[in-house]
Structure 1
Amino acid sequence: MSAPHLDIATFRYDTTRALFDGTVAFDDVDAALHTAATIPEIFAGLASGRFDVAEFGLTYYLRALDAGSDLIAIPVFPNRVFRHSCVFVNTAKGITGPEDLVGRTIGEFGMYGQDSGVWAKGILSDDYGFAPEKNQWVLGGLETPLSAPFEFTTHPHPDNVEISFAPPGRTLADMLDRGEIDVLFSANAPMNYLAGSPNIAPLFPDHEARERDWYRRTGIFPMMHTVAAPRELFTANPGLAQRLYQGFLSAKDTAAERYRTMRRLYQVTTMVPWMNGLFEGNRELFPEDWFPYGIDANRTALQTYLRYSYEQGLSPALRTVDELFVEELRNT
């Protein structure tokens, strides 16, 4: 039986680099690797059937399941980011901490409840009593005007949350800079903030310290994305889920081992000064496998994300972790 040809798409990360450069290959799979200029393009490609297997944002995946999609995930999480750092404020609005996020006009990229927004709202709710329904939400593009919400996904939101869209031709980054919105929840830092605008600041200037404290308390390194495919693909190809999982896992482990090995040379393969010191400091906080794949090592993080999605009115029911993943890999 010939190896199945699969169009597999993911962004180019440290965790996937070895798949693109050929250091790691999927066993018994004729794989064509794809990427895109932006990650939502990869999501759209999976939703449209252009890709057989692809990276998929957690919130997009849950929405697809709730809409009756036959997609099923493998427990691979190529993208993780701590999210205290993803909330920005206009400096003229008198916002000095999370207690000031009441009655505010808040921008969010693309849709209400994208992956980073779900994590940030949940963390703020757990630790600071943040209530999304006490604010007005404006959806739009961050740096480029967004003419319509993402068409490849559904757009649920609770009835008690007030939502509108950015005016035609306007971006959320510019609106925050001008004070037309008070706050921005964004997966990416606004370019005008990076360029030094005095009008924009992070909600938590000490976000790294807060994120490290949050990790110490929760043990969660938040994942944004998983990898999914139509369920029928795995049904028609027994063992394929395991082979895909092992390929993604080997690529991630190859990247992690590169960092471990380069300790001898002070991480000379990067351009970042004192990178070795950061790596050594992180080794004191994180376990040896600080970027785990599989279900068991990620169960607490996934349960937390599912709870956040349900509490924020994005999921009609509280799902279990195991139902998200192909049965063949539920013992990982």
Structure 2
Amino acid sequence: MKIGCFPYDTTRQLFETTSVETAATLPEIFERAIRGEFDVAELGLTFSLRLLEEGTPLVALPIFPNRVFRHSCVFVHARSGITGPGDLTGRTIGEFGTYGQDSGVWAKGILMDEHGFRPETNRWVIGGLEHPAEPFAFIPHPRPDGLDVTTAGKETLSDLLDSGEIDALFSANVPQCVLDGSPNVVRLFPDFAARERDYHRRTGIFPIMHTIVVRRDLLRDDPGLARRVYTMFEAAKDAAAERYRRGRRLYQVQTMLPWTNALVDDTLAEFGEDWWPYGISANRTALDTYLRYHHEQGLSSRRWRIEEVFTPELLGT
């Protein structure tokens, strides 16, 4: 099989034991997957759902190599007057590549649920984060009727935020202006780590960004393939978790990050032994919430059910 995914802790073993291809950026992997270059590939959840509307030849498996809490992903211009979620109303907000990236779907949904945020009141600017780029050409771009969406053109979203030409940015990646220490940009939630922990304790949700997809024709011709792919990715993820568990004895000296051991201990106490579960059962709440957000934000024509999104062979996982 030709496999394409990003090198994470969760997939490291695959790169050591299997022939796996990657790319410099995740959108490159997604585009190649959608164009049929891979048999098995990583794909953003929103990309998978957008293609599902059109009868995609790709089928999702409940494997989730990329998960990130998203209170940290909203950045604002320091002189915009935005000091809390209520100040986002009527503002101009940037988003990378498309309206409704996975990170944006989660951030908007959480803000809608907990702070009354209404994305339709905003002006949205789509573009490249660090390099000028047009909206992704390899996916559909559904959005609610009447939503004000423009493109950044030759400007970058990082520069637009730094200069104040946009008031805020919903971003999967930390913009370069923040990494450079610009005084012009701050996070909407400076205390994001505490907020994310509180969110997890209240909801049980660890936001899922990406899934693994397989060509539909391969699953049809080989009924056992879905289970083998699932087992392969789960073994790689479990191997990564075991490295951290073994590392506790040596204070995680295999990493360069101070206090990693304390963080691993805290994570085990909060999440239990499997803090990064695959399968439907352990992720039903997170998946249901995402499917609701996707529909509420006008990215799906209807609210999809989990059973319609993932391959039937793995619905019992």
- Partner AA of 1:40 in structure 2: P
- Partner AA of 1:15 in structure 2: T
Provide the alpha-carbon RMSD of the alignment: 0.8
Counterpart residue number, 1:140: 127
| Local SS of the residue matching 1:303 | helix
**Which protein has the bigger helix share?**
2
> Could you tell me how far apart the structure 1 residues matched to 2:271 and 2:167 are?
35
Q: 1:15 aligns with which of 10, 14, 19?
A: 10
Counterpart residue number, 2:47: 60
Residues 191-241 of structure 1, C-alpha deviation per residue, up to 9 Å, x if partnerless?
A: 111110000000000000000000001000001000002211111012011
> Could you tell me how far apart the structure 1 residues matched to 2:305 and 2:197 are?
27
Counterpart residue number, 1:43: 30
> Could you tell me how far apart the structure 1 residues matched to 2:258 and 2:20 are?
32
Q: How many residue pairs end up in the alignment?
A: 317
Question: TM-score under structure 2 normalisation?
Answer: 0.99
Segments of 4+ moved more than 4 angstroms: none
Counterpart residue number, 1:225: 210
Counterpart residue number, 2:162: 177
Residues 94-138 of structure 1, C-alpha deviation per residue, up to 9 Å, x if partnerless?
A: 111101111100000111001100000000000000000111000
> Could you tell me how far apart the structure 2 residues matched to 1:160 and 1:129 are?
20
- Partner AA of 2:85 in structure 1: P
Counterpart residue number, 1:125: 112
1:70 deviates by: 2.5
Unaligned runs of 5+ in 2: none
1:291 deviates by: 0.3
1:160 deviates by: 3.0
Q: 1:77 aligns with which of 59, 64, 76?
A: 64
Counterpart residue number, 1:157: 143
- Partner AA of 1:326 in structure 2: T
Give matches, 1:1-332, under 5 Å. 6-22=1-17, 32-146=19-133, 148-166=134-152, 168-332=153-317
- Partner AA of 1:158 in structure 2: P
1:71 deviates by: 1.5
> Could you tell me how far apart the structure 1 residues matched to 2:103 and 2:87 are?
20
Identity %: 61
| Local SS of the residue matching 1:88 | strand
1:330 deviates by: 1.1
| Local SS of the residue matching 2:63 | coil
> Could you tell me how far apart the structure 2 residues matched to 1:291 and 1:215 are?
13
| Local SS of the residue matching 2:125 | strand
